[in-house]
């Protein structure tokens, strides 16, 4: 059989060379163990973050999960960012449904009748003193419009 023959120099490794090789091997084993430990910790944290994203109720809660991934590579972040994007899409309709009522000025301008306008006029008095004159101007203008509409109907 043709087996490669060891070179004479490699047969007689010095003690120092053997020590160096042993230290190198131990270092590689340690690095591999550290890498495995880091991967296990990464997977655990990723799982917790994905769970947190799925349970988050607001966009701010969803986005808060990225702060734990600063030391991660782009590849490590990708599964979390995909989950965040998906959750934000799910939350978007819910956020859109929570609409603020129109401003008092808009409500005054759209008042359907004098009774509704009277209620809004009362609300004007609860607002800051510096804005009340402007809002009262809109009330007077709308009252004039509504009274003229009523007069036109009567004729």
Q: What is the mean pLDDT of residues 46-50?
A: 92
3 pLDDT more than 90: no
Q: Which residue has the higher pLDDT, 138 or 66?
A: 138
By the 10 Å C-beta count (0-12 exposed, 13-18 middle, 19+ buried), 132 is classed as middle
Q: Which residues contact 13 (CB under 8 A, 6 or more apart)?
A: 21
135 and 124 Cβ atoms separated by less than 8 Å? yes
Q: Distance between CA 63 and CA 43 in Å, rounded?
A: 19
- In this prediction, residue 34 carries a pLDDT of 85
Q: Which two tokens stand for residue 79?
A: 């599964």
- In this prediction, residue 67 carries a pLDDT of 87
12 pLDDT more than 80: no
Give the predicted TM-score (pTM) of the model: 0.45
Scanning the chain, the segments in alpha helix (DSSP H) are: 8-11, 15-55, 59-63, 74-97, 104-109, 114-124, 132-154
98 pLDDT more than 70: no
Which of 60, 67, 68, 63 lies closest to 44 in space, CA to CA?
A: 68
9 pLDDT more than 70: no
Q: Which residue has the higher pLDDT, 3 or 44?
A: 44
């Amino acid at each position: 059989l043709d087996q490669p023959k060891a070179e004479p120099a490699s047969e007689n490794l010095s003690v120092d060379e053997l020590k160096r090789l042993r230290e190198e091997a131990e270092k590689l084993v340690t690095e591999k163990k550290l890498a495995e430990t880091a991967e296990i910790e990464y997977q655990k944290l990723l799982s917790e973050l994905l769970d947190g994203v799925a349970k988050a109720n607001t966009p701010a809660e969803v986005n808060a999960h990225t702060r734990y991934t600063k030391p991660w590579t782009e590849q490590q972040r990708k599964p979390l960012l995909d989950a965040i994007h998906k959750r934000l899409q799910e939350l978007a309709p819910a956020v859109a449904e929570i609409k603020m009522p129109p401003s008092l000025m808009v409500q005054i301008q759209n008042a359907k009748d004098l009774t509704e306008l009277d209620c809004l006029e009362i609300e004007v008095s609860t607002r800051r003193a510096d804005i009340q004159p402007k809002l009262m101007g809109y009330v007077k203008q709308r009252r004039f419009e509504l009274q003229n509409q009523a007069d036109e109907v009567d004729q």
